[in-house]
């Protein structure tokens, strides 16, 4: 915004702007779609109703336009949830071309879908099951998935699954991680394979956990979390407050009573950066934080206010 229009904005807030000057200011904002100072837009939107330099009906129309601009800019800052839908028609043309240059190789390569740092990706699978990938996570599955006897899918990271029942063929749906497999027919659950061992939280339905490279399986019921205990055995426990257990899928992550060192490790996983604090004594103190996965700057501000110290990004 040029000095001229900054001056008009100040005059508008001080209520000493002329009708012509207000007209110039509003026209400038309307013509500059890229102007994204939301605070300025909000102040104009709030104060237009009280302005005597413009008639009420015109003020209402302009307020409506400004509100749309404000909502658009604010929605761009919220969770960047990218949707990925798998449909054969979208790749039909590509398959025709690939016939002459190695269709067999193409069909034998898996479909790989990845969520980048600070991003959540929603995936609709060929059977209409829905997978929501947490930041820095990926899934892969066979390209000819619908022709398999079992719906196999591999996960690296964390994902929330809403599995559609196969009413026709009753095919199993199996999620494979580095240390176990989660077997279902139709259910809703969260799988976290980020750490040393996989953790599974069951929201509804039922699942069977199978340990890889060792004997043993475990049946789960809704509201339970399961994984390997300190002895390397599959175990489960009832979650007292399951509402926040997979809240990351809606854009914000809750870490309750976690040491600052653990919170900084989670930030590293989500945002792809390492962080530290000057006072290392704080690393062992526990905090509870809710932070937006898709907004690193805002998340760091929240954490800094929480611990009362600057969070420093490692440059190594």
Q: For 260-275, write each residue's pLDDT tens digit.
A: 999 999 999 999 999 9
Comparing C-alpha atoms, which of 301, 287, 295, 304 is closest to residue 252?
Answer: 295
Chain CA centroid to CA 220, Å: 26
> What's the confidence (pLDDT) of residue 52?
63
Topology of domain 81-240 in CATH is: Jelly Rolls (2.60.120)
Residues with Cβ within 8 Å of residue 123, at least 6 apart in sequence:
83, 84, 85, 86, 113, 130, 131, 132, 133, 139
> What's the confidence (pLDDT) of residue 55?
64
Mean pLDDT of all residues in the chain? 79
pLDDT, average across residues 198-210: 90
CA dihedral 123, 126, 127, 130 (to 10 degrees): 0
Task: Provide the residue count of the chain.
Answer: 316
> What's the confidence (pLDDT) of residue 254?
86
Phi-psi region of 38 (alpha: psi -120 to 50; beta: other; left: phi over 0): alpha
Lowest pLDDT segment from 9-18, 134-143, 228-237: 9-18
> What's the confidence (pLDDT) of residue 112?
92
Q: Is the per-residue pLDDT at 99 higher than 80?
A: no
Lowest pLDDT segment from 108-112, 152-156, 207-211: 108-112
Question: Rounded to two decimals, what is the model's pTM?
Answer: 0.66
> What's the confidence (pLDDT) of residue 252?
84
> What's the confidence (pLDDT) of residue 166?
81
> What's the confidence (pLDDT) of residue 26?
72
> What's the confidence (pLDDT) of residue 165?
85
The pair of three-digit structure tokens given for residue 243, joined into one six-digit string: 């509402």
Q: Is the per-residue pLDDT at 10 higher than 80?
A: no
> What's the confidence (pLDDT) of residue 215?
75
CA atoms of 121 and 247, how far apart (whole Å): 14
Under 8 Å between Cβ of 108 and 143: yes
CA atoms of 252 and 138, how far apart (whole Å): 19
> What's the confidence (pLDDT) of residue 92?
57
Residue 169 pLDDT grade (very low, low, confident, very high; cuts 50, 70, 90): confident
Residue 43 pLDDT grade (very low, low, confident, very high; cuts 50, 70, 90): low
Residue 314 pLDDT grade (very low, low, confident, very high; cuts 50, 70, 90): confident
> What's the confidence (pLDDT) of residue 250?
81
> What's the confidence (pLDDT) of residue 137?
95
CA dihedral over 177, 179, 184, 186, signed as positive or negative: negative
Would you kindly state where each structural domain of the chain is located, as residue ranges? 3-77, 81-240, 251-313
> What's the confidence (pLDDT) of residue 67?
62
């Amino acid at each position: 915004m040029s000095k001229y229009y900054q001056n008009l904005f100040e005059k508008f807030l001080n209520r000493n702007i002329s009708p012509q000057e207000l007209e110039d200011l509003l026209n400038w904002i309307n013509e500059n779609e890229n102007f994204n100072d939301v605070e300025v837009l909000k102040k104009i939107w709030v104060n237009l109703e009280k302005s005597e330099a413009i008639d009420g009906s015109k003020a209402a129309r302009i307020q409506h336009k400004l509100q749309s601009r404000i909502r658009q800019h604010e929605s761009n800052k919220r969770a960047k949830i990218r949707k990925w839908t798998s449909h054969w028609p979208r790749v039909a043309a590509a398959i025709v071309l690939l016939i002459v240059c190695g269709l067999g190789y193409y069909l034998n390569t898996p479909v790989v879908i990845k969520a980048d740092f600070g991003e959540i990706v929603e995936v609709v699978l060929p059977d209409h099951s829905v997978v929501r990938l947490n930041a820095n996570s990926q899934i892969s599955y066979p390209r000819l998935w619908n022709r398999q006897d079992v719906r196999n899918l591999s996960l690296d990271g964390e994902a929330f699954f809403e599995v559609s029942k196969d009413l026709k063929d009753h095919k199993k749906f199996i999620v494979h991680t580095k240390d176990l497999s989660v077997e279902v027919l139709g259910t809703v659950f969260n799988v976290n394979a980020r750490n040393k061992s996989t953790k599974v939280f069951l929201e509804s339905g039922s699942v069977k956990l199978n340990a890889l490279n060792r004997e043993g399986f475990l049946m789960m019921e809704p509201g339970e979390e399961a994984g390997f205990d300190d002895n390397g055995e599959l175990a489960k426990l009832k979650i007292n407050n399951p509402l926040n257990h997979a809240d990351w899928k809606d854009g914000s992550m809750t870490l309750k009573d976690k040491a600052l060192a653990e919170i900084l490790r989670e930030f590293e996983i989500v945002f792809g950066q390492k962080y530290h604090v000057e006072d290392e004594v704080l690393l062992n103190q526990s905090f509870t934080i809710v932070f937006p996965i898709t907004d690193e700057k805002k998340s760091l501000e929240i954490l800094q206010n929480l611990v009362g110290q600057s969070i420093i990004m490692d440059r190594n």
